[in-house]
Amino acid sequence: MTKISLTRQGLIFAMIVIGMGFFGIYSWRKPSTKPENYPTDSKVITFLPIVKGCAETDKNQVTKSFSNRVEQPPTIKVVDNQIIYSRKINHLCCRKVKLDKQIQNSTINIYEIWSGIGCKCICFSDIKATLGNVPKGTYKVNIYEKGTEPGDSNTPMNQKLIISQQISIE
């Protein structure tokens, strides 16, 4: 019977040959590439809503704000791979707003969802939403105002288009 003896040099040689085999198999795989029209999955795109002033809802408390501050019309702008919506608005006190999004194909809808009875005073709020990690492409961005009418939490507001804009992420 013949004994097979592995020397240190033989073992190193065998490991090198096996390693080169694995490397060769790995390097022959097709490289994975992301399709140019990457799907706009809302799990990929991040959403950061920020509301400052009277309409804040995060703290679940009434917050006071200087009334009759200078309103800023709604804007939609692109910074790198982010879409940023903002506006500054005077509104009835005791009203709250939450922001939500809906993404379907190349259409992005952002919703200001208003609620609360509305008191007999005027407050000011700064509303902003940032969508991040938006894939390259052309999108139609719509901003809507909806929710419930002041004074009656059961009567829905008519949905109103605030701004709509075609944008491109390069």
Q: What is the pLDDT of residues 61-101, one digit of tens each?
A: 445 555 557 899 999 999 999 999 999 999 999 999 999 99
Q: For residues 26-40, give the mean pLDDT.
A: 39
Rg (CA), the chain: 28
Confidence tier at 32 by pLDDT (50, 70, 90): very low
Q: What is the pTM of this model?
A: 0.70
Q: Domain-by-domain residue ranges, the chain?
A: 46-169
Q: What is the pLDDT of residues 121-150, one digit of tens each?
A: 999 999 999 999 999 999 999 999 999 999
Confidence tier at 28 by pLDDT (50, 70, 90): very low
